[in-house]
Structure 1
Amino acid sequence: MNKQACIFILVFGIVFFPQINYAQVDFNKLPDDDLGNYEDAYQEHFFEALKQKGIENYDRSVKSLLKCIKINDTDPTLFFELGKNYKMLKNFGAAEDALKEAISKSPENEWFLDELYDVYMQQNDLDKALKTVKQLVKFHPDYKQDLASLYIEAKKYNNALNILDELDSEFGYNQDRDYLRNQIYDLTGNDDDRIENLEDRIKSNPEDESTYLRLIYRYSETGDTKKAFDTAKNLLESNPESKLVHLALYKFYLDDNATDDAINSMRIVLTSPNIKPEAKAKVLNDFVSFVSKHPEYEPQLVEITSLIDDDKSPKTLRELAQYHLKVNDKVKALGYLEEILTEDPNDFNTIKDVLMLRLDLNKDSEAEKLSAETLELYPAQPVLYLVNGVANNKLNQPKKAIETLEMGVDFVVDDPKMLSDFYIQLSEAYKQNNNITKSEAFAKKAADLSKQ
């Protein structure tokens, strides 16, 4: 190739190659001008806002969002996020303004409205909250229940009841709405409407045991025992297997002198595994009281309590113990109280009762042992020292009695009767120990207390 040809090719390359490269530029790429800088800055501020919100730096998040809005204020999400941050900062006025701006840009966005609703609720602004939740109702029926709650707070009880009626009609009854309904009845004192509502429910669903029971309770509460009794009998007729109805029936039967029916209902309650121990204890208490007045029915009480041996709560056991104490059967009473201690060995009141009965029944070694063990748990209880001293005196162990009694007497405060008992036992202990002088001294102290 000659020299002139080389120069031609070099010049041709210089002139034409840049133009060929320019023709291969990616036109989808944003130019590096002011618009591109704005886009980068917007994204940088937005992600910084999310980051600061995530670490609970809400004020910094607000500043970054405001920078985004300055660049481009068309996105409603910016105002939504801004409103949430203001709410966390308790700046509710600014939160309301920001969220209303978001809603103006996207009126059908449920989450924007819900956030505004929460802002009003946190300020207890019932009027604005009501207005907002009415807009939310179209999104989900749960908001209707919120609307009912707000009507209650605003004392618009009829509006609330109408909403609850609509929801019950559409979705059936539920516990939360029943709570709201009863709250209204309690606030208005409108027992007639409450009862009417329950009566209507029974008509529409005669198999619903819980509605009968609530109606029985409401009739009883208003003093209409005849309707309460009739409702209980209707429940038994529609649901012969119901156990809960007997919680009401036994009382009605007792008032009606239908003793056999009452005892049968009590038997069903006390032997049912589905009835709570607290309810059983109440029934047993009534049964015990009844038998105390009518001892001819004691065999039935004994029979029924024998059936519930494997299902006795502490309350039930205590009721049985009290009954046997009333009829002076201390051995059985002690047995039931000792059963309580197997479940709760640190029950101080039961321990005291057991100790007294053991002394009464001359179970002195057992009383001495239990009182000594319990003193480790309750070292400042003078009654335990006294019982231990009495037990040791009865066991002819005066030195142990003296040691315990002299230790415990210091814990007696403002109780002359107990102090006198301590002196009497110390007198007895010193007498057994052949120290007549001290025995007589403590006897005199006890006598002096009794004269006060």
Structure 2
Amino acid sequence: MQTRTYIIILSFGILFLVPRFNSAQVDFNKTPDDDLGNIEDQFQEYFYEALKQKGIENYDRSVEALLKCIGLNDEPAVLYFELGKNYNKLKNFAAAEDALKKAVSKAPDNEWYLDELYGFYAAQNDFEKAIETIKQLVKHHPDYKEDLATLYVRTKKYDEALALLNELDKTHGISANRDRLRNQIYKATGRKKEQIKNLEQRVNDTPKKESNYLALIFHYSENNQKDKAFETAKELLKINPNSQLVHLALYKFYLDDNQSEQAIESMKIILKSKEVKPDAKLKVLSDFVKFVDKYPEYEAQLVEATTLAESQSDIKTLEELGQYYLVKGNKEKALNYFESVLRLDNNNFSVLQNVLLLKLDLNQFEHVLEQSSDALSKYPSHPLFYLISGVALNALNQPNKALEVLEEGIDYIVDNTKMEIDFYNQLSKSYTLLNNTAKAKTFSDKAKQLQTSNKK
């Protein structure tokens, strides 16, 4: 959009910004030499009053002053321009449109008036009128052409929009914003062949630009032209052997083509790449895990790749690895990855639970006791951490402390029968350790009663 030029007018101690106008202007510096001088004085007084009232947001009073100006001299286009802006602020949209159109009719080449009218129509979602107005603006400033293309898309004039986008690309080169508009058109119209043809032409025109290849690969794949996508990816790799992003496509093609070694190499490149986004890495890692589930002989390569992934300090990747090893039954490995997550994000609640439960399974009771105490300071009303702490204390033969923790934590249980059973079992164990068999049996019976009623 063009930069507006303003005349600064100082009046009544207030600074106003008034757009420069080009036709039927009143010369406020003219010395009156006849009876019309009084009229000009009045006009000037009302005009400055209008600006002052607009400056302090008294738009209705500004309108009154402008109408008095028009009563004295209705020729200056700026009066209608200012009037239209005031009406717009007062949400009198019909009057605003009439006034702005009047200003444009009096000064059809004034870019400020056209821009204001265009902005008014755009704000009213009157896109057809906005298009007609912006076409006049384009004659003065070609920068408005991209706005016009956007309006064509909004009004489903896709052919006109594409023609304008092609013109702008040819003149100014490719831009991400115009590409988004272009892709929006292709999606709305289903012109996949035209979209691919456009991308093929870009690859031919600029054969060393990686982004063109990547876009073409994506749209070939989306259009079920896998062979062409694969060939394009391999062509990009020839032109740019150091490309990392191309492997996001290549590893899948290699997997589909049963080229396991090449697929694994591509996945390794992705997992250690700084250019690939974490979400994309996570998807690749998930595919790698599925591949190894199918072909266990490649587990060593997965371990190597996950070591690379861990070095990138990517929380989502590390958590995914922890879940993978948890499912595989490798608790030590799972615990290592989950603890790596906590080092990066010590407020990750679900991972904290996994870490504590795994440490219980691995009999790391001292660590559990210390970590569950920290967890309770953060989450003082969460019963699971009381239970975990109680289990660890019983395991360490500290039943009195276990009873204290368990009796406090059980009060926080809400609609969780399984957890309530676990609490009763641990309370029974604490009393057993204290040789209080009666109390131990009471809580053991409560646990059994809940188990029986829960089965019904």
Same fold (TM over 0.5): yes
CA deviations 1:277-333 (Å, max 9, x no partner) are 222222222222322332322222233333444312111111222233244332222
1:435-450 → structure 2 map (5 Å cutoff): 435-450=436-451
Match of 2:182?
181
Supply the AA of the counterpart residue of 1:195: I
Match of 1:370?
371
SS of 1:244's equivalent in the other structure is coil
Supply the AA of the counterpart residue of 1:260: E
Supply the AA of the counterpart residue of 1:299: A
Match of 2:98?
97
Supply the AA of the counterpart residue of 2:415: D
Match of 2:249?
248
Supply the AA of the counterpart residue of 1:209: E
Q: Sequence identity, in percent?
A: 57
1:146-157 → structure 2 map (5 Å cutoff): 146-157=147-158
SS of 1:335's equivalent in the other structure is helix
Higher relative contact order (CA 8 A, sep 6+): 2
1:72 aligns with 2:92: no
CA contact (8 A) 1:277 1:312 kept: no
The gaps in structure 2 that reach 5 residues or longer are 1-28
Match of 1:391?
392
SS of 2:202's equivalent in the other structure is helix
CA deviations 1:111-151 (Å, max 9, x no partner) are 11111111212222222112111111112223222222222
Match of 2:285?
284
The gaps in structure 1 that reach 5 residues or longer are 1-27
CA contact (8 A) 1:96 1:116 kept: yes
Match of 2:338?
337
Larger deviation, residues 307-316 vs 437-446: 307-316
Give the Cα separation in 2 of the matches to 1:124 and 1:303.
Answer: 57
Supply the AA of the counterpart residue of 1:214: A
Give the Cα separation in 1 of the matches to 2:375 and 2:190.
Answer: 51
Give the Cα separation in 2 of the matches to 1:192 and 1:30.
Answer: 71
CA contact (8 A) 2:251 2:263 kept: yes
SS of 1:312's equivalent in the other structure is coil
1:271-310 → structure 2 map (5 Å cutoff): 271-310=272-311
Match of 1:6?
none
Give the Cα separation in 1 of the matches to 2:115 and 2:182.
Answer: 24
Give the number of the structure whose alpha-carbon radius of gyration is greater. 1
Match of 1:204?
205
Match of 1:21?
none
Supply the AA of the counterpart residue of 2:48: F
Give the Cα separation in 1 of the matches to 2:80 and 2:174.
Answer: 40
1:10-409 → structure 2 map (5 Å cutoff): 30=31, 34-409=35-410
Give the Cα separation in 2 of the matches to 1:42 and 1:399.
Answer: 94
CA contact (8 A) 2:213 2:232 kept: yes
Q: CA deviation at 1:31?
A: 5.7
SS of 1:257's equivalent in the other structure is coil
Supply the AA of the counterpart residue of 1:249: L
Match of 1:17?
none
TM-score, normalised to structure 1, is 0.89
CA contact (8 A) 1:340 1:350 kept: yes
Query: After TM superposition, what 4+ stretches of structure 1 lie above 6 angstroms from structure 2?
Result: none
Give the Cα separation in 1 of the matches to 2:177 and 2:309.
Answer: 35
TM-score, normalised to structure 2, is 0.88
Larger deviation, residues 262-271 vs 371-380: 371-380
Match of 1:7?
none
Larger deviation, residues 219-228 vs 347-356: 219-228
CA contact (8 A) 2:202 2:212 kept: yes
Q: CA deviation at 1:380?
A: 2.3
Give the Cα separation in 2 of the matches to 1:352 and 1:31.
Answer: 88
SS of 1:223's equivalent in the other structure is coil
Give the Cα separation in 2 of the matches to 1:241 and 1:37.
Answer: 80
Aligned length: 425
CA contact (8 A) 1:65 1:82 kept: yes
Supply the AA of the counterpart residue of 1:145: E
CA contact (8 A) 2:310 2:317 kept: no
Match of 2:7?
none
